[in-house]
Structure 1
Amino acid sequence: MIKNFTNSLKKAIGSHHLLKLTCFILTLFSLNTAYAQKNATIKGRVTTANNETAASVNITLNGDKQHATSTNDEGSYILTRIAPGTYTLTAKLIGLGTQEKQVTVNSGETLVIDFVLAEDSQSLSEVTVTSGYNKFAKKETESVARMPLKNLENPQVYNIVPKELLQDQVILSYNDVLKNVTGVSQAAINGANSFNLRGFTTKSFLRNGLQDGKANSIEVANIERIEVLKGPSATLFGNSLTSFGGLINRVTKRPFNTFKGEVSYTAGGFGLSRVTADFNTPLNKSKGLLLRTNVAYTDEGSFMDAGFSKRLMVAPSLSYKVNDRLSLFADVEIYNQKANDYVRLIPQASFTKTNPALLNVNWKRSYNNNEIYETQNSVSAFGEVNYKISDQWKSQTVFSRTNAPIEGLFMINFIQGDTAVLRMPGYEHADYKYTEIQQNFNGDFHIGKYRNRMVIGLDYYVNTLNSSFVQQYGFDKVRIPGNDPQYNKLTRYSVEQVFAAKTYTKDFIDQRVYSGYLSDVLNLTDELLVMASLRVDRFVNNGDYSINRDTTTGQFKQTALSPKLGLVYQVIPQQVSVFGNYMNGFKNNAPSKQPDGTPVNFKPSYANQWEAGVKTDLFDGKLSTTVSYYHIKVDDVLRGDVTPGRQGFILQDGGQLSKGVEAELIANPFKGFNIIAGYAYNDNYTINTNKDIDGLRQWSGPARAANLWLSYQLPGQTLKGLGLGIGGNYNSKAYIMQSRSQGEFYLPAYKVYNAAVTYDQPSYRVSLKMDNLTNKEYWGSYVSQMMPRRFSATAAFKFQ
């Protein structure tokens, strides 16, 4: 069994790399134990005067940033490796009174020091509009590593987009949220929820750390923050919901202890009309029973000759603190969407004109009709049970269920040659169902004098699809430039007449994944940490059942191992850390038969990433940066055999390489002024797949991308609450395709700027937003026209 495990591990990361890693880890574990003196530990819990949990409270020892932490969601904190002596322990949070305690610790001792903080009414009245802190630098989250781990302690690169940034930029669309993440670009615009991340297409399939596989647009009104983890992350999150480039997880809003509400209305260009409401209502505050409900309705047209969307979301959430050990949380997102705003113009090969600007595509032509639309509804349910087993261990049981039916007509358009658009309408009635159940045990304990933070997890994931589908390739052809009488002959009636004579494809698909994983972060010293993780994944494909043919094909089972290793050294404790990681992802491959009838079993394709970089948190949290270099190599990719006489045969010796640099900066240089900026360079190409394209960048997003947002809250009482924001995005040339024999086609580079003005007061907020300030004509995913300049205004009323 050990031999089989070792062989599988070698296949996952390569035998020579395995040897290096083994020697490296053994060296780390054999470091001189002089670092492990008999230091002390202080831990405890912070609550409010009415016995409610106080999260995010700053805890410091003698005001020293090297011995500082903050309380987690349960109000708990821990300070380790404290030299014997007498100290001042301080607990502080804006809106709660600061409290200090004198403590004396002895060698090897563990002290439990709790705080009870009273509300500071004067402070609360003074921070109605917060402007004097780095409000975009909210990196601390337990869901990234599935354990309490600070950004400077984490060897993985990740970005957080907090709700404060969404409000500052007056963001209405989920696609606009990801423009703030370094190196992320859209892979398909509007309702597709598809992005390019480190050169790989990445879907937004995670909600609160578990599946939420719906095709409809994602509503931003119920988002607390967005977490984007960079690099193959299958070890903790599996391969079904992640890509080799990383993953995108959205965290929803949760109830809190006080009554508060907000209702807003937005009106803007192209028929934009939007209403949102957010009400938080403690049902039984003394017993910890809290309710929060978010509602959003959007009705929007298009700048093109066709295109609309109507979207409604209702999202109630309920939390209940049963006692100090047990807490429950549940929420539901109910979503209804009717839209035809998913624009797709897919180029084909053999172009003499190399970009859409040269094709003279009419900016306002959609090549669609408002009668061609789909309804995409979904119900996403989430449940969480947290139980404190002991001071060192806690249990978390989570459940997620998504039902996401789609019904209606859709349109895919192909650019044919340089002169015409080939329209291809389709109809689908698909019922997607996803379920995930996960059990995590989190520990924070010492083995001897070494601190361990560990998660042990089990995961069960199942997805099924019941679909009915039909499509007409080449329904008609429309000229790109000039008038064409055929253009308006695309109607619902004309499409349905064609489909009436066709046979619909009907299928049922069932896939299941059984997984177990373990991750441990070991403190060799306060400054030196080692992370080691491993996942075993059993994929079961029960096949594709064709209802028309009454046959099932494609059944197979496959097991994969996914390791992860990381090293962090804090050069300046709590301020500067250097890190390195090895991360792994995989893709299951179904068995097949070669043209000569020979059966062949394929192994999973593996992606292995090596990355190194620096993270900082300087000037009392006013400057946060991350800079890294990554190298992702994908092996065992399936490809077609191009040897003469062997066309149709499949080989498993292809590959892909993605490497690059990323840099993020989040700063608060002076009171009221906040900056978030990023730059990314990505070099991406295939290896040994096809000599005509190997080494040439294909559709994987731009090679270079940059983002910037500057926000300033004006000081003084006269203009208190007035905020200004401006920023934008740069994308370099993005290749759709490159071929040595047939040429190239690409999207031109562009810069787009946005600006917002907000006046925020205790009882109301008014915001004005201008998207695409310079009215830039530019192209998004494939050959999709992006929105020209649009002005919008929002008025919000607050209740508390």
Structure 2
Amino acid sequence: MSTSVLAQNTGTVSGKILAVSESPLEQANVRVAGTRLGTITNAQGEFTIQNVPAGQQTLVISLVGFSRLRHQITVAAGETVQVPNITLIEQSEQLQEMVVEGKQSYKTDIPSSSLRLKTPLLEIPQNIQVVNRQLIADQQIFDMLEGVSRNVSGVTKNEHWGNYARLNMRGSRVSPFRNGMNVTSVWGPLAEDMSMVERIEFVKGPAGFMMANGEPSGFYNVVTKKPTGMTKGEATMTVGSFDTYRATVDLDGKVSQDGRLLYRLNVMGQSKGSFRDFESNDRYTIAPVLRYKISDRTTLTAEYTYQFSRMSAIGSAYVFSANGLGSLPRNSTIASANLEPTNIKDNSAFLYLEHQINDKWKLTAQMAYFNYNQIGSSLWADSARVTGEVYRTVGIWDALDNSKFGQIFVNGEVTTGPITHRILGGLDLGTRKYIADFNSSFPQYDSAFVFNANTPNYYLPTRLLPRFNRSLSLLQRAGTNVMSQSYAGLYVQDELRFLNDRIRLTLAGRLTTTKDSQYGSGTDETVFTPRVGASFSINKQTSVYALYDQAFVPQSGIDRNGRAFDPITGNNLEAGLKKDWADGRWNSTVSVYKITKNNVLTTDPTNPNFSTQLGQTEASGVEVDVRGEIIPGMNLVLNYAYTDAKISKDSREANVGMPVPGFDRHVTNAWLSYRLRKGGLQGLGLSLGYQWELDRFGWFSDATSKDPTLPNVFRADGAVSWSNARMTVALNVNNIFDVKSYSGAYYSWSKSYYWQYDPPRNFRLSIGYRF
């Protein structure tokens, strides 16, 4: 179709989205109802949508924290419609004559700017799922270690050390990102507290468009809260099971009256116990953000986050027994009551510069610095006996992780004849250095004292308490336990759009150079990875896509023989169907994929302090996701994933065909929430959900059988709440039926079983006030 013919049937819509205070709203979603057309507002609250069909149209405008608005317009062919300024009403304010759609749903239409893409999720040739702030609040999720994974198909949480999140998807670990930066570390960073989080974006499969190294299975991107330009605040207090006490404050507003200097401040304090004795994790978070509008086209944002955690000795959540998995009571622990806690200080800082070159081109430059400082110890067991004796060891674990990142990229659009090109290109730089001292350990047993899980004595004799020597600096104590990496990447992507944007072809490539030094061994690599994707709109609400992408990820560490690990390389083949339903109120995604991954690491079964490298793994599967407002007031998240992950090549021939550790063959989750919008019980909300995992394979184990190693798990959760314009009261009950579940494996190195129990039935009661 020629440009002249297209202009005879379509027009352009431009406008500006404001808050009640007349401050511009950035990152507001603006879409044309019943079409695949949409965009997000820039720092000035402005938007432009091209190729809008002539005639009567409805704009749907939404932003988390504000009521969704529908605005009628008339589009004239070949002309630009300048929409009068549109004002969004904050949800805490009383609504009067505005045509709104009620509470923000669980559906998100546009990716965050930190994903670099200007294309609506419906048109992107990849499965990307977003967990927004409304869903996080309704489920009362505190941090990334909790129930975030239940909201996305195929995502599961592996057992953890209590300080960082390890999530699996499509047969292997997914990389943690924050605001578009790959923050993957050996151990860390500290799991993000949800008080500072706006949304979490799960990207399935490789993602070279992020201009950052990432696992072939995908990554999750934590997007932190930014100033909105409105003066508002919210305070929430929560109490719960296991001596849980938590308070958060979220302040948002203007520093200067002209609205050029904005701020956002989130503060959290938490004291949290456990269903296991002598286990705790007390945390606090401080997260200030400043945004300065240098000019109408240029914005500078500075963000800092400090997270502190004081927790019981790392590893105390695990239990060991020679009598089989799940053979001990649920409150069992290997913790000692008189061991010193572990302290973690996590600092991060971001600086963003955004410049709107013109209506079609934007330049973004950003830098980040991460500092993770841990002083503490870890617990483990050398062995266990059928009579209950557990021979525990406590080792020093002091660590320092410094990471620096820099990115600069441009987004733009050009037209060549009937083809529109959406261009993304840029430079990605980063350095990481991890230093750890785990060189000294002390047995927690002698001829007179051995811990017995059947008749536990949780107090160590004074003579067995560890006496760690910290007189030298960490670097001096670490010796060869130092890992560093530097990388540089160049990336270019062209999204070609044909036939009134109905057909979209993505052609892209990334050139990555890395230098690694790991425990005394070093590697240098330069690799080119291509990306080809296609997306076709069957109609205004439905699209199909196909994708081929490659991944390249350097790996830290050495095996027990001192050999550095080769980098991960991988291929991803993916196809899917996406559809919006009910005028875009809810959507569904169905995807199939096959990932081939080379040089995968798994725990060395002969020595758990080391990893070993498999030759190649293959993961394939089917994923289904449904999310959004099914009927007015009723929101649903429903997902299912079938995953088949196996070893396809290995130096140990017997391993070929064996399952890859750490995945569930079948996973399905749901969360249904309904809130009354009228009548005497207006504001009353009810929620019910489940988590169902079947054919589960333990993560921290050797591949020894094609049969699942862990029992199936079905957990039910629910909530009842009430809210009005200013106040919210919510009671959440998790694991309603008090199901006993755990994850773990047989540990050939200690000739025993190890596992970690999930929490029993528990509740959280919160009261929130908006002002």
C-alpha distance in structure 2 between counterparts of 1:612 and 1:317, whole Å? 39
Q: Does residue 733 in structure 1 map to residue 720 in structure 2?
A: no
> Match of 2:368, as an amino acid?
S
1:309 CA drift (Å):
1.0
Whether the aligned pair in 1 keeps the contact of 2:175 and 2:184 (CA below 8 Å) is: no
> Match of 1:621, as an amino acid?
G
Counterpart in 2 of 1:222? 196
Q: 1:247 aligns with which of 219, 226, 229?
A: 219
Counterpart in 2 of 1:181? 152
Q: Does residue 613 in structure 1 map to residue 585 in structure 2?
A: no
Counterpart in 1 of 2:122? 152
Counterpart in 2 of 1:583? 549
Counterpart in 1 of 2:513? 538
Q: Secondary structure at the match of 2:655?
A: coil
1:411 CA drift (Å):
1.3
Whether the aligned pair in 2 keeps the contact of 1:672 and 1:713 (CA below 8 Å) is: yes
C-alpha distance in structure 1 between counterparts of 2:718 and 2:99, whole Å? 20
Matched ranges for 1:20-39 at <5 A = 37-39=5-7
1:688 CA drift (Å):
2.5
Q: 1:256 aligns with which of 211, 215, 228?
A: 228
Q: 1:520 aligns with which of 494, 498, 508?
A: 494
Distance 1:653 1:342, change over 3 A: closer
Counterpart in 2 of 1:29? none
Whether the aligned pair in 2 keeps the contact of 1:235 and 1:562 (CA below 8 Å) is: no
> What stretches of structure 1 of length at least 5 have no aligned partner?
1-32, 545-552, 641-649
Q: For each residue in 1:397-431, what CA deviation from the matched residue of structure 2 results, as whole angstroms up to 9, or x when unmatched?
A: 11111111111112134664766544232112222
> Match of 1:520, as an amino acid?
D
Distance 1:792 1:303, change over 3 A: same
C-alpha distance in structure 2 between counterparts of 1:481 and 1:105, whole Å? 77
Matched ranges for 1:491-570 at <5 A = 494-496=465-467, 504-506=477-479, 507-525=481-499, 526-542=501-517, 544=519, 553-570=520-537
Counterpart in 2 of 1:368? 335
Q: Secondary structure at the match of 2:698?
A: strand
Counterpart in 1 of 2:303? 331
> What stretches of structure 2 of length at least 5 have no aligned partner?
604-610, 746-754
Q: Does residue 428 in structure 1 map to residue 400 in structure 2?
A: no
Matched ranges for 1:390-469 at <5 A = 390-413=358-381, 416=384, 421-469=390-438
1:592 CA drift (Å):
9.8
C-alpha distance in structure 2 between counterparts of 1:638 and 1:337, whole Å? 29
1:36 CA drift (Å):
8.5
Whether the aligned pair in 2 keeps the contact of 1:424 and 1:473 (CA below 8 Å) is: yes
Whether the aligned pair in 2 keeps the contact of 1:345 and 1:415 (CA below 8 Å) is: no
Q: Secondary structure at the match of 2:508?
A: strand
C-alpha distance in structure 1 between counterparts of 2:149 and 2:507, whole Å? 30
1:758 CA drift (Å):
1.3
C-alpha distance in structure 1 between counterparts of 2:122 and 2:517, whole Å? 43
Whether the aligned pair in 2 keeps the contact of 1:631 and 1:659 (CA below 8 Å) is: yes
Whether the aligned pair in 1 keeps the contact of 2:285 and 2:305 (CA below 8 Å) is: yes
1:363 CA drift (Å):
1.6
1:99 CA drift (Å):
6.2
C-alpha distance in structure 2 between counterparts of 1:157 and 1:201, whole Å? 17
Q: 2:730 aligns with which of 767, 774, 782?
A: 767
Whether the aligned pair in 2 keeps the contact of 1:187 and 1:781 (CA below 8 Å) is: no
Counterpart in 1 of 2:619? 658
Q: Does residue 712 in structure 1 map to residue 674 in structure 2?
A: yes
1:59 CA drift (Å):
5.3
Question: Considering only aligned residues, what root-mean-square deviation do their CA atoms show, in Å?
Answer: 3.7
Q: For each residue in 1:320-377, what CA deviation from the matched residue of structure 2 results, as whole angstroms up to 9, or x when unmatched?
A: 22222111111111111110275467799xx996x513xx223211101242421110
Q: 2:647 aligns with which of 681, 686, 710?
A: 686
Whether the aligned pair in 2 keeps the contact of 1:91 and 1:98 (CA below 8 Å) is: yes
Whether the aligned pair in 2 keeps the contact of 1:57 and 1:71 (CA below 8 Å) is: yes
Counterpart in 2 of 1:381? 349
> Match of 1:784, as an amino acid?
Q
Q: For each residue in 1:461-520, what CA deviation from the matched residue of structure 2 results, as whole angstroms up to 9, or x when unmatched?
A: 0011233322438654967752266x64377962227999xx954344332101111112
Counterpart in 1 of 2:607? none
C-alpha distance in structure 2 between counterparts of 1:111 and 1:235, whole Å? 31
Distance 1:334 1:593, change over 3 A: closer
Q: Secondary structure at the match of 2:193?
A: coil
1:308 CA drift (Å):
0.6
Whether the aligned pair in 1 keeps the contact of 2:181 and 2:405 (CA below 8 Å) is: no
C-alpha distance in structure 2 between counterparts of 1:234 and 1:708, whole Å? 31
C-alpha distance in structure 2 between counterparts of 1:120 and 1:766, whole Å? 22
Counterpart in 1 of 2:659? 697
Counterpart in 2 of 1:116? 85
Q: Secondary structure at the match of 1:305?
A: coil
Distance 1:36 1:105, change over 3 A: closer
Q: Secondary structure at the match of 1:167?
A: helix
Report % sequence identity: 22
1:82 CA drift (Å):
5.5
Matched ranges for 1:99-178 at <5 A = 102-106=74-78, 111=80, 113-117=82-86, 125-126=94-95, 132=102, 135-143=105-113, 145-174=115-144, 175-178=146-149
Alignment coverage as a number of residue pairs: 730
> Match of 1:327, as an amino acid?
T
Q: 1:796 aligns with which of 757, 768, 771?
A: 768
Distance 1:492 1:334, change over 3 A: farther
C-alpha distance in structure 1 between counterparts of 2:69 and 2:468, whole Å? 72
Distance 1:416 1:287, change over 3 A: same
Whether the aligned pair in 2 keeps the contact of 1:235 and 1:584 (CA below 8 Å) is: no
Counterpart in 1 of 2:586? 623
Whether the aligned pair in 2 keeps the contact of 1:133 and 1:668 (CA below 8 Å) is: no
> Match of 1:625, as an amino acid?
S
> Match of 2:432, as an amino acid?
N
> Match of 2:228, as an amino acid?
F
C-alpha distance in structure 2 between counterparts of 1:603 and 1:97, whole Å? 52
Q: 2:756 aligns with which of 765, 778, 784?
A: 784
C-alpha distance in structure 2 between counterparts of 1:535 and 1:460, whole Å? 13
Distance 1:571 1:288, change over 3 A: same
Q: For each residue in 1:293-324, what CA deviation from the matched residue of structure 2 results, as whole angstroms up to 9, or x when unmatched?
A: 10001101111122011101011111122222
Of stretches 691-700 and 224-233 in structure 1, the one that deviates more from structure 2 is 691-700
Counterpart in 2 of 1:72? 41
Q: Does residue 672 in structure 1 map to residue 633 in structure 2?
A: yes
Distance 1:505 1:44, change over 3 A: same
Distance 1:91 1:324, change over 3 A: farther
Q: For each residue in 1:244-301, what CA deviation from the matched residue of structure 2 results, as whole angstroms up to 9, or x when unmatched?
A: 2110111111112221111121111111011111111211242421111100011011
> Match of 2:661, as an amino acid?
W
Whether the aligned pair in 2 keeps the contact of 1:699 and 1:734 (CA below 8 Å) is: no
C-alpha distance in structure 2 between counterparts of 1:248 and 1:744, whole Å? 29
Whether the aligned pair in 2 keeps the contact of 1:560 and 1:604 (CA below 8 Å) is: no
Greater fraction of residues in helix: 1
Q: 1:267 aligns with which of 239, 253, 261?
A: 239
Q: 2:312 aligns with which of 324, 340, 343?
A: 340
> Match of 1:307, as an amino acid?
E
Of stretches 418-427 and 339-348 in structure 1, the one that deviates more from structure 2 is 339-348
Normalised by the size of structure 1, how large is the TM-score?
Answer: 0.83
Q: Secondary structure at the match of 1:165?
A: helix
1:179 CA drift (Å):
2.0
Matched ranges for 1:588-599 at <5 A = 588=554
1:101 CA drift (Å):
5.6
Distance 1:592 1:716, change over 3 A: closer
C-alpha distance in structure 2 between counterparts of 1:492 and 1:541, whole Å? 42
C-alpha distance in structure 1 between counterparts of 2:190 and 2:232, whole Å? 29
C-alpha distance in structure 2 between counterparts of 1:774 and 1:202, whole Å? 30
Q: For each residue in 1:15-63, what CA deviation from the matched residue of structure 2 results, as whole angstroms up to 9, or x when unmatched?
A: xxxxxxxxxxxxxxxxxx6798443551433144976434536454xxx
